């Protein structure tokens, strides 16, 4: 029994059957329909994206018995012979096996003769970058001024190796890598036509492993069907590709969100039994972090190709602070890079996860013992500045915020001091700082948001602010935020004004300082006002003098 590989069986026979590459197909179709067909085309791109396929379809469009057009009939003798690979006037050359100048000269000796069967004699030279320098020199003159009945179609995966003299004589089209969604859709269509059972998760794994190459995806699908006894199942794809089930990536993300260090280390060590590709595992984890980070900034961001359930993404979006997520992603990227530098990738992967917990924004670390669940275990608010240590002695932890006044005493005047005492971070803290308190109706607090900062407003950040205020006042409150000019200064404006006043006072004090006056009088020194900086209370370095 003869079996034809899926990549050959389902090779597109017209532009309409192609997956992706619309930018190339549109240009070629317009050229064919308008009759403005150049004599030399160069198709570039990575393996399996359709370079040779596009060239063959283009040759069919040129030689269809019904005339030159972007829609060959597919039924005439020329079309069927090109599909079968026996059309005399389509000369396909593998430059990788014919690199000598004698081969090129022999090929070009026949250029002057008219086509045997078709309208044009088409030379399709694959992997053209493999030709020798002498071969390119022999080709140049013919490539620039070929007879009117000759068309050159060149294909390569490495256009940088082509001489600029060749590039300047061709119309160049770069075929892009295909997206995971396009590859999955094509695989699903083919399996549907073949009547083969499949699971979407299995096709996603194949499409990801193919790295933008549809031909590689079809070859992997052939392998999976042999491995899975005629079916494309996720479990078989995981086993065949040697990947780790995506549920482990989700589990790691959830353990990071819970700051469960012991659980995270145990789970990372258990992965060893599957002998995973730790670089790919970090890529998957970083992809998940990136997806959640986008949703934190744009709540209605369009669905991605990652296939993660929306409920999971929403849960992680609320459980991981934005600044933590950005740090996790950066550590994951650096850890992925450093895997090649360690002798044991398993250890490098584990240390990357531990580093995500060990380093936190503003100096907040994690405890070696997991916290006890319950209301008493609520995390303390983060200090305004990172804690520092000197001489090997850790700095004292920030003191707890002072007791808040009752809800009834909240006024627009005393609101400016409250955001700094709330258990907030990231965008939610910024939202509170740029809001002015307008008034209260029972448990409903009304705020006016500075219009210049309305981009930071979202339903998730408003919910965090309402929860923080409820904890602060010891009773449940609701908030209503309106984008409008505030009747009073926002906390951010109050803080900015106070900082400016302190800077002016500091500069004035320095100008009248006896030591500064002595330096001015003796050496003609001047004080640079821009060198005066306000420092956190923990340290007070002297301002620069000039």
Three-state secondary structure string covering 49-70: CCHHHHHHHHHHHHHCCCCCCC
- What share of residues in the chain are helix, strand, coil (percent, to 5)? 55, 10, 40
**pLDDT score recorded for residue 527:** 75
Contact 158, 129 (CB under 8 A): yes
Is residue 464 a part of any domain in this protein? Answer: yes
> Which helix (H) or strand (E) is 182 found in, with range?
helix 180-194
- CA-wise closest residue to 350 among 263, 294, 269: 269
- Asked whether residue 263 falls in the same domain as residue 192, the answer is no
Is residue 99 a contact partner of residue 132, using CB atoms and an 8 Å limit? yes
**Would you state the pLDDT for residue 1?**
56
Which CATH number goes with the domain that contains 220?
Answer: 1.10.8.60
What is the CB neighbour count within 10 angstroms for residue 102? 11
Domain assignment of residue 296, yes or no: yes
- Helix axis angle for 22-34 and 51-63, nearest 10°, is 20
> Residue 306 sits in a domain of what CATH number?
1.20.272.10
- Mean pLDDT of all residues in 2-31: 91
- Start-end of H helices in 195-245: 200-210, 214-227, 234-241
Are 10 and 151 within one domain? yes
Residues 66 and 83 in one domain: yes
- 88 — alpha (psi -120 to 50), left (phi > 0) or beta? alpha
Q: How confident is the model at residue 366 (pLDDT cuts 50, 70, 90)?
A: very low
Q: Which residue has the higher pLDDT, 345 or 274?
A: 345
pLDDT at 399 > cutoff 70? no
> Would you say residue 173 has pLDDT above 90?
yes
**Pick from 48, 401, 418, 4: which is nearest to 194 by CA?**
4
pLDDT at 369 over 70: no
Please spell the DSSP secondary structure of 325-372, one letter per residue: HHHHHHHHHHHHHHGGGSS-HHHHHHHHHHHHHH--GGG----SSPPP
Out of 75-89, 224-238, 380-394, least confident range: 380-394
pLDDT at residue 213 greater than cutoff 90? yes
Domain of 117, in residue numbers = 6-174
Alpha-helix residue ranges (DSSP H) falling in 339-439:
345-358, 426-433
In sequence order, the β-bridge partners of residue 40 are 152
Confidence (pLDDT) at 4 = 86
Domain termination residue (choose one: 326, 343, 363): 363
Question: What is the total count of domains within the chain?
Answer: 4
Reply yes or no on whether the pLDDT at 425 is more than 90.
Answer: no
Both 276 and 422 in a single domain?
no
Q: Are residues 189 and 256 in the same domain?
A: no
Query: Do 255 and 301 lie in a common domain?
Result: yes
**Within a 13 Å sphere around the CA of 11, how many CA atoms are in the beta-carbon half?**
18
Q: What is the mean pLDDT of residues 368-384?
A: 39
On whether the CB atoms of residues 53 and 181 are closer than 8 A, the answer is no
- Tokens in use for 536? 């956190």
Asked which of 144, 174, 204 is the last residue of a domain, the reply is 174
pLDDT digits (tens, 9 = 90+) for 258-273: 889 999 999 998 888 8
Residue finishing a domain among 493, 513, 537: 493
**Is 107 within a domain?**
yes
- What pLDDT band is residue 169 in, cutting at 50, 70 and 90? very high
Same domain as 170, residue 142: yes
Is pLDDT larger for residue 275 or for residue 283? 283
Domain-located, residue 507: no
CB 430 within 8 A of CB 456: yes
In a domain, 29, yes or no: yes
Higher confidence at residue 413 or residue 535? 413
Q: How does the average pLDDT of the chain come out, rounded? A: 83
pLDDT score recorded for residue 208? 86
In a domain? residue 403: no
Residue 274, pLDDT score:
76
Which pLDDT does position 405 carry in this prediction?
56
**Does some domain include residue 97?**
yes
Which CATH number goes with the domain that contains 437? 3.30.300.150
466 or 531: whose pLDDT is higher? 466
How confident is the model at residue 388, as a pLDDT? Answer: 34
Backbone angles phi, psi at 304, to 5 degrees: -95, 180
CATH number of the domain enclosing 144? 3.40.50.300
Specify if 448 maps to a domain: yes
Does this model's pTM top 0.75? My answer is: no
Return the closest-CA partner of residue 184 out of 119, 234, 228, 147. 234
Whether 288 and 312 share a structural domain: yes
Indicate whether 357 and 473 sit together in one domain. no
Q: Residue 122 above 90 pLDDT?
A: yes
Per DSSP, the three-state class of 490 is: coil
Does the pLDDT at position 363 exceed 60? no
Over the range 469-507, which residues count as b (16 or more CB within 10 Å of their CB) and which as e?
A: bbebbeeebebebeeeebeebbbbbbbeeeeeeeeeeeb
- Is residue 26 domain-shared with residue 135, that is, in the same domain? yes
My answer on whether 120 and 158 are in the same domain is yes
Is residue 336 domain-shared with residue 460, that is, in the same domain? no
Q: Round to whole Å and give the CA distance between 279 and 267.
A: 17
What's the whole-number mean pLDDT along residues 122-147?
89
Query: Nearest-CA neighbor of 62 among 27, 31, 24?
Result: 31
pLDDT for 188? 94
């Amino acid at each position: 029994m003869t079996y034809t590989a899926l990549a050959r069986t389902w090779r597109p026979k017209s532009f309409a059957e192609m997956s992706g590459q619309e930018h190339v197909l549109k240009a070629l179709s317009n050229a064919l329909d308008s009759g403005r067909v150049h004599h030399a085309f160069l198709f570039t791109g990575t393996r399996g994206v359709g370079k040779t396929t596009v060239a063959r379809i283009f040759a069919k469009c040129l030689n269809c018995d019904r005339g030159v057009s972007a829609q060959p009939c597919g039924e005439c003798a020329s079309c069927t012979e090109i599909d079968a690979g026996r059309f005399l006037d389509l000369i396909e050359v593998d430059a990788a096996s014919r690199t000598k100048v004698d081969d090129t000269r022999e090929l070009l000796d026949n250029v002057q003769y008219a086509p045997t069967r078709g309208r044009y004699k088409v030379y399709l030279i694959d992997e053209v970058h493999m030709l020798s320098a002498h071969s390119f020199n022999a080709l140049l003159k013919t490539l620039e001024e070929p007879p009117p009945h000759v068309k050159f179609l060149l294909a390569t995966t490495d256009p940088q190796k082509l001489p600029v003299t060749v590039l300047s004589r061709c119309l160049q089209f770069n075929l892009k890598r295909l997206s995971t969604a396009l590859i999955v859709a094509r695989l699903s269509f083919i399996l549907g036509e073949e009547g083969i059972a499949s699971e979407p998760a299995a096709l996603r794994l194949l499409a990801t492993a193919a790295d933008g190459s549809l031909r590689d995806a079809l070859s992997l699908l052939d392998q999976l069907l042999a491995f899975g006894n005629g079916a494309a199942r996720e479990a078989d794809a995981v086993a065949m590709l040697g990947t780790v089930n995506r549920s482990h990536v989700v589990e790691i993300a959830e353990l990071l969100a819970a700051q469960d260090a012991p659980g995270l280390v145990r789970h990372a060590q258990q992965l060893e039994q599957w002998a995973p590709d730790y670089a790919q595992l970090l890529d998957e984890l970083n992809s998940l972090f990136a997806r959640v980070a986008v949703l934190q900034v744009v709540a209605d961001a369009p669905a991605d190709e990652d296939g993660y359930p929306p409920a999971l993404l929403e849960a992680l979006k609320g459980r991981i602070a934005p600044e933590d997520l950005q740090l996790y992603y950066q550590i994951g990227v650096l850890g992925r890079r450093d895997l090649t530098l360690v002798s044991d990738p398993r250890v490098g992967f584990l240390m990357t996860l531990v580093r995500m917990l060990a380093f936190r924004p503003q100096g907040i670390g994690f405890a070696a013992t997991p916290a006890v669940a319950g209301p008493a275990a609520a995390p303390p608010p983060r200090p305004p500045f990172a804690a520092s240590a000197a001489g090997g002695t850790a700095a004292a932890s920030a003191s707890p915020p002072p007791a808040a006044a009752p809800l009834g005493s909240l006024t627009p005047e005393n609101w400016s001091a409250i955001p700094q005492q709330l258990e907030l971070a990231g965008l939610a803290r910024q939202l509170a700082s740029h809001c002015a308190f307008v008034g209260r109706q029972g448990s409903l607090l009304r705020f006016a948001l500075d219009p210049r900062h309305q981009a930071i407003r979202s339903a998730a950040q408003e919910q965090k602010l309402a929860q923080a205020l409820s904890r602060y006042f010891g009773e449940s409150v609701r908030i209503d935020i309106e984008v409008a000019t505030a009747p009073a200064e926002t906390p951010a404006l109050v803080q900015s004004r106070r900082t400016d006043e302190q800077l002016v006072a500091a500069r004035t004090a320095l100008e009248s300082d006896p030591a500064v006056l002595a330096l001015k009088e003796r050496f003609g020194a001047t004080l640079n006002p821009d060198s005066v900086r306000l420092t956190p209370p923990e340290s007070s370095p002297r301002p620069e003098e000039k």
